[in-house]
Amino acid sequence: MRKLDVAGPRGIIRRYRDHLPVGDDTPVVTLDEGDTPLIFSERLSSKVEAEVWLKYEGLNPTGSFKDRGMTLAISKALEEGSQAVVCASTGNTSASAAAYAARAGMVCAVLIPEGNVALGKLAQALVHGAKVFEIEGNFDQAQKLTQQMSEQHPFTLVNSVNPYRVEGQKTAAFEVVEALGRAPDLHVMPVGNAGNITAYWRGYREAHELTWSSSLPAMFGFQAEGANPIVRGEIVQDPKTVATAIRIGNPASWSGAVDAATSSGGRISSVRDKEIIEAYKGLAEEGVFVELASAAGVAGLLEMHRAGAVPAGSTIACVLTGHGLKDPDWAMSTAPRPRKVEADIEVILAQLDMA
Ligand code: F0G
């Protein structure tokens, strides 16, 4: 049977191989990640009097942006003869590592902070066969342990300190530039371990060097107020936020985030949990389901608008890092219960006030 034609190569390694550290012998471990939609937001655009585009990274194969870096990190680990990978995670990295390691036939060990990983992410890591350890400690402690494991034992570390992760993730900036025909004026996103803002800034700079865009964006990153070490300029020993994905007190790519913000004319700031929750609800109201951490960028954008810091008519890319289905517990805790009724149309219509 003839295969359907596809509109070009799938997966970020095949699509961008000339711009990634791969050779003819690099195996390609892929789930066709990337090529995510850039959705125009009518609601946010009118609110902030600018053009707001949402880069919906929740539509990657495992439901977060991590897949872009993981396809490359796992492919390179396989090329280098590694048989096992390890990562510390607030959830999404472990879900992605577990899926790509399963595909590559590699062992995957993950260390997660006990009680602070959303259910969907934990389910993913378990279903894909990772060896999951809930440590009695936070993400920063898990990160230290995985660093030691990779230095002293035959595990390849696939956290974003692995340079291939950032290389893979920079392709999201390429896609934004392709979709808009140039870089946005402002780029806003959440910041946790700070690998992703480092990656976007690299992607935009490369796109500029390649003349895909004549301009560069100002980069704005947002940490949760209770987990904002970069804003404070010091490690937060006991980070706290409802947005568990970015509950990080000592980010590995700290300097990358500072460099992105300062050299682009942007900033790293904090947003309150309350604002994150509001932004989460607002996105849901326009049909876009994200996890809490993903709403931090939107919360930050709204805060910037209130402070008069959004130039009227500017073009803004806002990254939505993970899918809302990752965290069904949070979603259900704030949503109304379904109504139990008889299987009777009149009863249902009466309840809808439409009888
Ligand atoms: N949004 C989501 C949904 C995340 O899962 C993360 C990080 C971030 C934003 C922040 O990105 O770390 O590159 O600044 N999650 C990591 C994990 C830490 O383990 O899944 P960052």
Q: Give me ligand 1 centre to Cα 246, in Å.
A: 6
Task: Say how many Å lie between the CA of residue 85 and the centre of ligand 1.
Answer: 18
Over the Cα atoms of the chain, what is R_g? 20
Token representation of residue 235: 């490690």
For 186-213, write each residue's pLDDT tens digit: 999 999 999 999 999 999 999 999 999 9
For ligand 1, is residue 223 a contact (CB within 6 Å)?
A: no
187: number of CA atoms within 13 Å, CB side? 33
Residue 54 Cβ contacting ligand 1 at under 6 Å: no
Nearest to 278 by CA among 246, 242, 328, 307: 242
What count of residues does the chain have? 355
Residue 321, ligand 1, Cβ within 6 A? yes
Please identify, by atom number, the ligand 1 atom nearest to the C-alpha of residue 195. Answer: 13
Residue 291 near ligand 1, beta carbon < 6 Å: yes
**Mutate which of 92, 254, 288, 326 to test ligand 1's pocket (most atoms within 8 Å of Cβ)?**
92
The Cα–Cα gap between 103 and 61 comes to 12
pLDDT digits (tens, 9 = 90+) for 273-288: 999 999 999 999 999 9
Which DSSP state fits 80?
Answer: T
The architecture (CATH level 2) of 66-161 comes to 3-Layer(aba) Sandwich (3.40)
What number of CA atoms fall less than 13 Å from residue 333's CA on the CB side? 8
**What is the enclosing helix (H) or strand (E) of 67?**
helix 66-79
Q: How far is the CA of 245 from the centre of ligand 1 (A)?
A: 5
- Residue range 121-157, pLDDT digits in tens: 999 999 999 999 999 999 999 999 999 999 999 999 9
Q: Is 267 strand, coil or helix?
A: strand
* Alpha carbon distance 347, 226 (integer Å): 47
214-244 tens-digit pLDDT: 999 999 999 999 999 999 999 999 999 999 9
**What whole-number distance in Å separates Cα of residue 186 and Cα of residue 229?**
23
Q: Is 135 helix (H, G, I), strand (E, B) or coil?
A: strand
Distant-in-sequence, close-in-space partners of 207: CB < 8 Å, separation ≥ 6: 173, 174, 177, 183, 213
Q: Which two tokens stand for residue 77?
A: 């680990």
The model's pLDDT over 44-78, given as tens digits with 9 standing for 90+, comes to 999 999 999 999 999 999 999 999 999 999 999 99
Q: How distant, in Å, are the alpha carbons of 185, 189, 252, 306, 318 from that of 260?
A: 14, 12, 14, 23, 15
d(CA 288, CA 209): 33
Question: CATH 3.40.50.1100 residue ranges in the chain?
Answer: 12-64+165-333, 66-161
Task: Give the DSSP H/E element, type plus range, for residue 78.
Answer: helix 66-79
Architecture of the domain delimited by 12-64+165-333: 3-Layer(aba) Sandwich (3.40)
Q: What pTM value is reported for the model?
A: 0.96
Ligand 1 atom 15: the closest Cα is on which residue? 245
Q: Which atom number of ligand 1 is nearest to the Cα of residue 191? A: 14
**Hey, what amino acid is at 178?**
E
